[in-house]
Structure 1
C-alpha cells in the first residue's frame, strides 16, 4: 500500500527530529564527531593564514631560513586535519549502526503488535522497503550527511569571515556572487522532496511485485504467466526509472549553480584581486591566501547539493518509517487485565458482531449477532456455504480481529479483558492455509510452547506429530531438525497441514479452533488423524470449521452458519432430520468430498 504525503507537511527539520529518541543515547559520540569534523575544517582554513605569512614574509624577503618552519607548520596542519577526519569516521560509524538497529527492532516489534487488519491493508514490499532501504538511508545520513551538512555550513560561514580578513572587497564580492546558490537550494527542496517520496514508494511497490512473483512462482509457471508478470514488472521498473531521472534532473539543476557560481566568483575575484594588488590595496600574500581559502570553501559549497538531496531523501524515509510507527493498534492489552486461572474452556459468543472497518467506508456485518455456547471439553463443528462467515468467526476467538459488537468469553472472562499472551496461551489455532516458517520442523511444531525444553519438549513434539500423522518427518534429511523452506514450500500441501495441526496440538490449549485442518489429506491419513484427534479433543473445547462430512463426525454438536448468523444448532442426525438448509450444505460437502476422493485415487 503506497502512502502519499500530507498536504500540510512539517518542516524538514521537525520531520527528521522525530528520530531524536533513538539518537539520544548516542548523541554524545555524534556531537563529538561533528566537533572533530569542525576541527578538521578549521585546520584547513588555518593553512591559508600560514601561506599568507609565508608569501609576504620569507618569499618576499628571500629569507630561506624561514621557509622550512612555515612548510613544516603547513605539513603539521595537514596531518592534523587528516587525523581529525579519521577520528570523525570512527566516532560516528558505530553509533549510526546502533541507531539503525534500534529503529529496525522497534519497527519489527511494532509490526508484530499491529493487528491483522493492518497487514491486510499494507503491501509487504512497502513494509520491507521501510525496514531495509529507508533505515539504511537514515543511517548513512546520520553517519555522513548531517555531520557534513552542519560542519560545512559552519565552515562556509567561518570561511567567509576569513575571506574578509584578506580583503573586504573580495570577500563581499564572493559573498554576493554566492547568493544564487542559496536561492536555488530553497527552490530545490520544494521540487525534490515530492519526487523523492514518489521514488521511495515506487521502490516499495517494486519489492512487493518481486515478493509476490517469488511466492507465487508455482502458479505463474503452471499457468504460463511468467511473461505477463515480467511485462507488469517492467512497467513498474520503467516508472521508477522515470522518477529517478526526474530526481537526477533536479540534482543536476542544483549542481549547475553549485559549479557555475563558484567558478564565476573565482573569475571575478581574480580580476578584482589583481587590480587591488597592483593598486597596493592588498598584498600578494593576501591575494594568494584568499584564493587558497576560497579553494578550501569550494568543497563545502559544492557539497551542499548532494547533502541537501540526501537530507530530503532522509526526511522522506523518516516520514515513511513513522507512517508505520504511528499506526493505531486497535487490539491492545487491557489496562487492568483479568486472568482465568486454571482454564476449563467454556467458550461463549454473546451477540457477537464483526465488520471490517476502514475510514470513509461502510462494510456489511460478516458476523451478525452470533449467540453460541460451547461447554468445556465439547467439540462443535461449524458448517455453512462458502462466504457464510465461518473463518471470520474463528478469527475472533484469539483476537486476530476484535468483535465490533457483543462479546466472546472464555470461562466467563471477556477475551478483550485478557492479555493477548494469556489469551493465546489458552487458545490454539490451525488454519486451512498452513503457514510454516523457514526453520526446523522442531521449531515450527513447538512454536506455541517456548516454556518447555529438553526431554519434555521432545516428548510433546513427538506426541503431536504422532496425532497429526506426520511420520514423514523421519524420512527428512535431518529428521525433526530439518529446516523447511520458506513458508514450508519444500513440503507438500498435506505435509504442511499436518505440521500446522501438530503445532496447534502441541500448544496444549484449553480452546482449540481449527479451520478445516484436514482438507489437504488423503482419505486414509484423514481417518488416522481423526482417530488421534478424538483423544486430544476429549479434554479440549474445540470449534472446527468442517468442509467434509467426515470432519463433522468428530463433533458432539454442529452449528449451521448462514449469512453471518447461526441458524441451527444440534447433533448431525437431528439437523439432517429437521433442517433443509443443513441437508443442502451437507450434500454440497458430500459432492466436494467425492471429488477430492476421486482426485486422491487418481
Structure 2
C-alpha cells in the first residue's frame, strides 16, 4: 500500500460490532501491506538467523586450520550481512507504511462519522473522549497492525530455525523445540491483569483529556467567574490518577519483560551446559556448538517481538473498543435512507410536537427551556440523539426527512446550534463550504452585521494587505468575543442558503441594537425561504411573521408576538421573564 493513496478516496465501511472485529477489519484492509512486510521480514530475519552458520564454520575452520573453509565462511557472512542490510530498509518502510495507513484510514472514518453526526457526536460522547480516540487510540491500533507483520515474519523464521536445528543437531534441536513454546507462553497468565490495568489507564487518560478540553473551551467564562482554580484542582487530581494508573500498568509490563529475560537466561544456561557435555563426549564439534548457540540467541528476537505484540494487542484492543463505540453511532434515519430523492421545499411538520412551519415563512419558536429548544431544533434537522424509533419523522413537503439520503437531508435542512464551531483559517476559508450560490459572502456578512468585526480583523493584517477576508481566525474563533463568533457563524449559515434554515439562539450573545438589525436583515435576506429561529428574545420575535409557543414539547399557541404577549400568560412569562402565572390566575 503506497502512502500516495492517503487520504483514501473511500476508507470503507468498518465492522464496529466489537473492538476485536474492528481490528480484524483494519488488518484485512491492510492485507497487501502485511504480505509485503512479512516478505521483507523473512529476508531480514533470515539474514540474522543464518549468520551463526557462517560464524560456526569459521570457528571450526580456525580449529582445523582450514583456510578454504575460513574463506567460505567469510563469503557466507558477507552475503548474509548484505541480505540483512538490504532488506532492513524495505522491511522498516513496509511496517511503518502499515502503521500510517491504518492510522490514516481510522482517522478518516472518525472524521467522516463526526461530519455525519455533527453536534450529535459530542452529545452522546464527551469531547475529551472523542479527542482521545482520534489521537492516542488511533496510534495504538496502528501500532498493533504494524507489529503484527514483524511478529509473523519472526515467527516463521523461528519455526524454520527450530526445524533446521532438529536436522543439524537433533538432541539440542529437541530441547529448543520443547523450550521455545514454554518461553513464549510463560507470560500468558499475566496478560489478563495487564489488560485490566491498561483499560483502567485508558479510562483515566480519557477523563483527564475530557477535563482539559472542557477547561480550555470554557477558559474565558472560568476567568470571568473566578473558577480557574477549581477546574485546575480537578484536572490535577485526574492527571495524578492517570499517572498512578500508568505506573501500575508499567510495573506489570516490567514484570513481563523481566520474566522473559529470566526464563530465556535460564534456558540459555541449560543449553550451553548440555552442549558442552556433548562436545566433551565428542558427539558434536566446537563449531557446531557455536552455531547452535547462535541459533538459540536468535530466538530472543522473536520472543521479544512476541512480548511487544502481546502488549500492542492489549492496548489496541482497549483502544479499538472505544473507536468502535464512536464509529457505531448512527443517525436514526440511516436504515431508512432511500437511494435517490429530490430536495423537498414545502412545509416543515413535526408530528411529535405538532410544530408546523409554512414554506417560505420566517417562523420563531419559543420553548421556554433552552435545552428543549435545542433538542427540537436537532429533531427538525434529523440530528436528534433521543429519537424514539416509534416516533414519526419530521416531514418536509410531505417527505419524511429520515427517508432522505444523508447528503440530501443536509442540503435541505441546515441547523446552526447555539455553540457553532469555527475552524482556524482565514475568513475566506470560512465560506469554503457547499452553498447554493444565491448569497455572496459579502451579503451574508452584511446581513449578520459583521462590519465592525471586519474592521477589527483588517487591523491584524500584515502591512500592505487590506482585504479583511484574508485575516486569520484562531481555532474555534477564540480571538473573537461570544457575540462576534455568533455573527460570523450566522453569516456562514446565511451564505449556505439552505432550503430550510434552523437557527438555535443565534443572537443570545449580541447586544439589543445589533440584534434588531440582524433580525431585519435576516427576514429580508431569507424572504421566500423557510427560516426557523428558536429564541425567546422579544426583538427577534417581533420581526417574525409567526410565532409558535411550544412548552413541554407540544405546541400550545400560534400567532404573532404581539397577540401572544397579550393573550397567553405562559408565553408572556417566558419572553418577559415574569413569574409564571398560577392555575387560578390562568383561569381568571
TM-score (normalised: structure 1): 0.83
Q: 1 CA distance for matches of 2:153 and 2:394?
A: 60
CA contact (8 A) 2:26 2:102 kept: no
User: Residue 514 of structure 2 corresponds to which residue in structure 1?
Assistant: 525
- Residue 35 to residue 530, structure 1, CA distance change in 2 (3 Å): closer
Q: 1 CA distance for matches of 2:545 and 2:399?
A: 24
CA contact (8 A) 1:379 1:543 kept: yes
Q: What is the DSSP-based 3-state SS (H/G/I as helix, E as strand, rest coil) of the residue aligned with 2:543?
A: coil
- Does residue 485 of structure 2 align to residue 492 of structure 1? no
Q: What is the DSSP-based 3-state SS (H/G/I as helix, E as strand, rest coil) of the residue aligned with 1:487?
A: helix
CA contact (8 A) 1:558 1:569 kept: yes
- Structure 2: runs of 5 or more not aligned: 1-16, 462-467, 581-588
- Does residue 25 of structure 2 align to residue 18 of structure 1? yes
CA contact (8 A) 1:381 1:555 kept: yes
Q: How far off its partner does 1:181 sit?
A: 2.0
Q: How far off its partner does 1:471 sit?
A: 0.8
CA contact (8 A) 1:40 1:84 kept: yes
CA contact (8 A) 1:338 1:413 kept: no
Q: 2 CA distance for matches of 1:15 and 1:106?
A: 12
Q: 1 CA distance for matches of 2:571 and 2:49?
A: 89
Q: Deviations over 1:363-412 (max 9, x none)?
A: xxxxxxx3243333333332343368333323322212286424432323
- Residue 135 to residue 435, structure 1, CA distance change in 2 (3 Å): closer
- Does residue 34 of structure 2 align to residue 30 of structure 1? yes
- Structure 1: runs of 5 or more not aligned: 1-8, 353-369, 592-602
Task: Please list, as runs of the form range in 1=range in 2, the aligned pairs for 1:124-523 lying within 5 A after superposition.
Answer: 124-143=127-146, 145-178=147-180, 180-332=182-334, 334-340=337-343, 343=345, 345-350=346-351, 352=352, 370-386=353-369, 389-401=372-384, 404=388, 405-445=391-431, 447=433, 449=435, 452=437, 460-475=440-455, 476-477=457-458, 478=461, 479-523=468-512
Q: How far off its partner does 1:336 sit?
A: 4.9
Q: How far off its partner does 1:122 sit?
A: 0.6
Q: How far off its partner does 1:115 sit?
A: 6.5
Task: Please list, as runs of the form range in 1=range in 2, the aligned pairs for 1:500-579 lying within 5 A after superposition.
Answer: 500-579=489-568
Q: 2 CA distance for matches of 1:54 and 1:219?
A: 76
CA contact (8 A) 1:134 1:318 kept: yes
Q: How far off its partner does 1:463 sit?
A: 1.3
Q: Deviations over 1:9-63 (max 9, x none)?
A: 9897x67323234214xx1x4313212221232333333333444444x323323
CA contact (8 A) 1:115 1:330 kept: no
Q: 2 CA distance for matches of 1:146 and 1:472?
A: 57
* Count of aligned pairs: 551
TM-score (normalised: structure 2): 0.84
Q: 2 CA distance for matches of 1:417 and 1:67?
A: 79
- Does residue 71 of structure 2 align to residue 87 of structure 1? no
Q: Deviations over 1:425-448 (max 9, x none)?
A: 333444443432323323335645
User: Residue 99 of structure 2 corresponds to which residue in structure 1?
Assistant: 96
Q: 2 CA distance for matches of 1:586 and 1:316?
A: 49
User: Residue 4 of structure 1 corresponds to which residue in structure 2?
Assistant: none
Q: 2 CA distance for matches of 1:590 and 1:514?
A: 27
Q: 2 CA distance for matches of 1:38 and 1:112?
A: 42
